[in-house]
Amino acid sequence: MANCILAVGEVREGQLKKITWEVVSQAKRLGAALNQPVCALLIGSGVNDARKPGEYGAATVFVADDAKFARYSTDGYADVVAKVARECGACAVLLGATAMGKDLAPAVAVTLETGVAADVTALAVAGGEIAALRPVYAGKARVTVTVATAPFMATLRPNVFLPEAPNAGAPVEVVKVDVSGITPKAPVTLFAAAAGGKVDLAEASIVVSGGRGVKGKAEGDDQALHGQFQENYKLLENLAATLGAATGASRAVVDAGWKPHSFQVGQTGKTVSPNVYIACGISGAIQHLAGMSSSKVIVAVNKDPDAPIFQVANYGIVGDLFEVLPKLNEEFKKALG
């Protein structure tokens, strides 16, 4: 007897992450369509704000708060999710399609003997059955899928499912999960934060991304090109600083060794769907377009008017990025004043 939608939140260092509100809010919308209440689950150590998922629609918040969950473990966290999903009789289990959710969902699915619709961008209910829309081939196509087994499971792409307006007065029950029987076998032992408190590419609502064009007219040996690219890339970093944006790069730039792979947007890099994607000196190879064309608004700056990037851009500027970017930065500063 299925009797709730389970939304798995995300806790880092005791703090709830933004994806939690997106997952709980979508669980609320799904619960309304299926006439099911929403349960949230938080796993961590020293979890703050355990009642807060209630503001987004959770009637019950299950909390697995124990020192052994201070850091992530695939098996330990999966055991907790599977236990709670069984005990609360979840007919659907939703997670974020984040590093954690993508790793956790398949492990949970094996235990619950079900399947996962991964990286979903829309959910719909028809005839009591949940259908999920998800991109494949890095967004070159999309498929509608159902899960033939129960419970339905999905990971939700970040930045796609908007959080509900929080209702501070909503009643919520917090329930402690008995985790005495669960021992993580291979936990994370260390987390090294990326330098400088930069905005993460996959989580950013604005992305400024650079391609081969950022090299400019520089010629010379590898070291000279590398140096010139870094110098020119500061134009993008300045713009990103104004906008609170993350910075990214095309595959050509990563393959040349000018930026690490963590910057790569595209089919063999990250798929991003920010509110604004600003492509600078990126021609728009099909692999790149696959990774960013689900962005809400695309701005392109390129000197080649025939560059394929202009076919997906909402707003394109044909021109020299070395002239255009400083002007854009000035205008954004004025606008955000």
Partner 1 sequence: MKTVCCIKRVPDTTTRVKVGAGGAAIDRAGVEYVVNPYDEYAIEAAVKLREQTNGECIAVCLGPPEATKDLRTALAMGADRAIHLVDENAETRDSFSTAKALADALRPLQFDVAFFGKQSIDADNYQVGTMVARLLGIPSASVVVGMEVQGNTVVCSRAVEGGVETIPLPVPCIVTCQKGINVPRYPALKGIMSAKKKPLESIPAPAISNRVVVSKMELPPPRPAGKVLKGDAAANAREVVRLLREEAKII
Q: What angle do CA 306, 312, 316 make, to 5 degrees?
A: 60
**Quick one: 300 exposed, middle or buried, by C-beta within 10 A (0-12, 13-18, 19+)?**
buried
Least Å from the CB of residue 168 to partner 1: 27
CB of 228 or CB of 294, closer to partner 1 = 294
User: Is residue 128 a contact partner of residue 135, using CB atoms and an 8 Å limit?
Assistant: no
Among 35, 180, 189, 223, binds partner 1 (CB under 8 A): 189
Two tokens at 232? 């020119």
Contact with partner 1 (CB under 8 A): which of 114, 174, 237, 238?
114
312 alpha carbon, distance to own chain's centre: 21
Strand partners, 11: 16
For partner 1, the closer of residues 36 and 98 by Cβ is: 98
For residues 4 to 43, the per-residue mask of contacts with partner 1, x marking binding by CB under 8 A and - elsewhere, is: ----------------------------------------
The CB-of-12 to partner 1 minimum distance in angstroms stands at 8
Among 264, 265, 277, 284, binds partner 1 (CB under 8 A): 264
Q: Binding residue for partner 1 (CB under 8 A) from 15, 86, 110, 183?
A: 110
Site string for partner 1, 165-184 (x = CB under 8 A): --------------------
What residues numbered 200-259 form the site for partner 1, per CB under 8 A? 200, 202-203
Judged by CB under 8 A, the stretch of 38-46, 59-67, 103-111, 229-237 that binds partner 1 is 103-111
Please give the C-alpha separations between residue 102 and each of 7, 117, 155, in angstroms, as whole numbers.
14, 11, 7
Residue 125 bridge partners (DSSP): 130
- Work out whether 144 is an interface residue with partner 1 (CB under 8 A): yes
Q: Positive or negative CA dihedral for 24, 26, 32, 34?
A: negative
Q: Exactly one of 50, 91, 182, 298 binds partner 1 (CB under 8 A); which one?
A: 298
Q: Is 328 in the site for partner 1 (CB under 8 A)?
A: yes
How many whole angstroms separate alpha carbon 157 and alpha carbon 239?
Answer: 26
Of 67, 165, 168, 186, the one binding partner 1 (CB under 8 A) is: 186
Q: Is 116 in the site for partner 1 (CB under 8 A)?
A: yes
- Among residues 49, 164, 237, 320, which is the contact residue for partner 1, using CB under 8 A? 320
**Which residue is it, tokens 């604004």?**
276
CB of 69 to partner 1, least distance (A): 14
286: contact with partner 1 by CB under 8 A: yes
Site membership for partner 1, residue 323 (CB under 8 A) = yes
- The interface region with partner 1, picked from 26-34, 100-108, 163-171, 226-234 by CB under 8 A, is 100-108
Contact indicator for 306, 154 with CB cutoff of 8 Å: no
Q: Distance between CA 278 and CA 247 in Å, rounded?
A: 9
Could you tell me which of 2, 134, 13 has the C-alpha nearest to residue 70? Answer: 13
CB count within 10 Å of CB 69 equals 23
Q: Which of 87, 80, 89, 90 is nearest to 27 (CA)?
A: 90
Strand partners, 43: 64
Q: Is 69 in the site for partner 1 (CB under 8 A)?
A: no
Distance between CA atoms of residues 42 and 258, nearest Å: 39
# of chain residues touching partner 1 (CB under 8 A): 92
Does the bond joining 171 to the residue before it have cis omega, within 30 degrees of 0?
A: no
Residue 187 touches partner 1, criterion: CB under 8 A? yes
